[in-house]
């Protein structure tokens, strides 16, 4: 466990680098989004979701809205993990109320058509968003960049959207690991380039979202989750050793421990099902941890939320720790529950 001993600097970065803090820093996954009325008003200004993500004036404003309202310790650039398939030239659409729809990759030739050389140029709007946000952020607030991890992005590219059993993706990986590795390699390169660009534009920490990490047996988890993450992490570390990387292998279960030891990340984001005592012993002894309030408890509010949030803080603040949810904020969440949660984590007496 690194002990930097630093007592200056942004709280989020200090915790991610291994420092124990008396009051944990807090931010929430999907803290910018549909649960905020000001977001819904802003969203109406773009014809579609991808245009919204790639218009710096709109995306930067969306990023800043929750900071103004809740004074979180970190902002996370407003974007989407499917920006990477989009800039690789795959057709990606977001249909209202239906989730994303992609023209699915069907065979190795489709992988060969991906336009890796265009990633840097096509992701410039995200860099511009980061620059605008960084210039506007209060000095104590850290700026997080992010991307989807290769496995999770690959599932969308092959399934053509979200999936129940991931049968197409897994079958491809099982039956033809060589061509599946070509897709993962392409995504490692694209993601590395994209994240380096984000750091150069002002991101001070990075989160890799592996939302569908929880569907693979151990052998494939090591090959398609841990190994690509490790490659991205070492490429980033080589250029920007001070920028911490948070990995979020949602649903990894027992394999959270393996991931913490081998994926090369500075911090591990825990989903809500990870038991706190186990996380403290098996994950937090190796890395900083982040998490893990059930988003449905934030939706519920009241004493159920308060009891659970206090239990998390009590269990995890004895090591390096960032308070967060176990998954993104649900759209129906009342914003006042978020206010109450922030006060509670910071030790205020408010009850949601």
Among 163, 179, 272, 285, indicate the residue that binds a second copy (CB under 8 A). Answer: 272
Q: Which residue in the list 39, 73, 80, 250 is annotated as catalytic?
A: 80
Peptide bond into 292 cis (omega under 30): yes
Q: CB count, 10 Å around CB of 238?
A: 9
Among 254, 310, 336, 350, indicate the residue that binds a second copy (CB under 8 A). Answer: 254
Among 116, 136, 215, 262, indicate the residue that binds a second copy (CB under 8 A). Answer: 215
Using the rule CB under 8 A, give the single segment among 84-92, 117-125, 270-278, 338-346 that binds a second copy: 270-278
Nearer to a second copy by C-beta: 19 or 159?
159
Nearer to a second copy by C-beta: 89 or 334?
334
296 sits near a second copy (criterion: CB under 8 A):
yes
Nearer to a second copy by C-beta: 126 or 270?
270
Active site residue 210: no
171 sits near a second copy (criterion: CB under 8 A):
yes
Q: Which residue in the list 35, 39, 156, 259 is annotated as catalytic?
A: 156
Nearer to a second copy by C-beta: 275 or 348?
275
294 sits near a second copy (criterion: CB under 8 A):
yes
**4-23 positions binding a second copy, by CB under 8 A:** none
Active site residue 171: no
Among 302, 314, 336, 347, indicate the residue that binds a second copy (CB under 8 A). Answer: 302
Measured distance CA(86)–CA(126) in Å, rounded:
13
Using the rule CB under 8 A, give the single segment among 86-94, 167-175, 233-241, 339-347 that binds a second copy: 167-175
Nearest distance, CB of residue 235 and a second copy, angstroms: 28
Q: CB count, 10 Å around CB of 14?
A: 23
Among 131, 330, 334, 343, indicate the residue that binds a second copy (CB under 8 A). Answer: 330
Q: Which residue in the list 34, 122, 131, 280 is annotated as catalytic?
A: 34
Measured distance CA(166)–CA(216) in Å, rounded:
10
Residues labelled as active-site residues: 30, 34, 43, 80, 156
Q: Which residues bind to a second copy, rule: CB under 8 A?
A: 165-167, 170-171, 174-175, 214-219, 221, 251-256, 258, 272-276, 278, 292, 294-297, 299-300, 302, 304-305, 308, 311, 326-327, 330, 332
């Amino acid at each position: 466990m690194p002990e930097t001993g630093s007592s200056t600097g942004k709280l989020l970065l200090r915790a991610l680098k291994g420092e124990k803090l008396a009051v944990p820093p807090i931010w929430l996954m999907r803290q910018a989004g549909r649960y905020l009325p000001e977001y819904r008003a802003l969203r109406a200004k773009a014809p579609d979701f991808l245009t919204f993500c790639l218009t710096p004036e709109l995306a930067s404003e969306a990023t800043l809205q929750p900071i103004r309202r809740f004074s979180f310790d970190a902002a996370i650039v407003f974007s989407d993990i499917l920006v990477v398939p989009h800039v690789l030239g795959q057709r990606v659409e977001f249909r209202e109320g239906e989730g994303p729809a992609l023209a699915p990759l069907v065979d190795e030739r489709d992988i060969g058509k991906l336009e890796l050389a265009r990633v840097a140029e096509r992701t410039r709007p995200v860099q511009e968003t980061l620059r605008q946000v960084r210039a506007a952020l209060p000095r104590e607030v850290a700026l997080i960049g992010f991307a989807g991890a290769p496995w999770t992005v690959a599932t969308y590219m092959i399934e053509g959207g979200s999936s129940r059993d991931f049968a197409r993706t897994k079958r491809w990986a099982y039956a033809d690991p060589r061509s599946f590795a070509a897709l993962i390699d392409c995504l490692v390169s694209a993601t590395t380039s994209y994240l380096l660009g984000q750091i150069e534009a002002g991101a001070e920490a990075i989160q890799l979202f592996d939302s569908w990490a929880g569907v693979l047996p151990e052998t494939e988890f090591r090959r398609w989750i841990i190994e690509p993450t490790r490659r991205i992490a070492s490429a980033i570390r080589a250029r920007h050793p001070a920028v911490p990387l948070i990995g979020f292998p949602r649903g990894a279960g027992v394999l959270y421990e393996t991931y913490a030891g081998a994926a090369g990340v500075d911090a591990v984001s825990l989903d809500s099902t990870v038991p706190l005592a186990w996380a403290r012993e098996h994950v937090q002894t190796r890395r900083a941890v982040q998490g893990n309030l059930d988003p449905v408890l934030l939706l519920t509010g009241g004493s159920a939320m308060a009891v659970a949030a206090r239990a998390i803080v009590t269990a995890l603040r004895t090591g390096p720790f960032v308070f967060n949810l176990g998954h993104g904020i649900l759209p129906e969440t009342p914003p006042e529950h978020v206010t109450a949660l922030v006060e509670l984590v910071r030790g205020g007496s408010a009850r949601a």
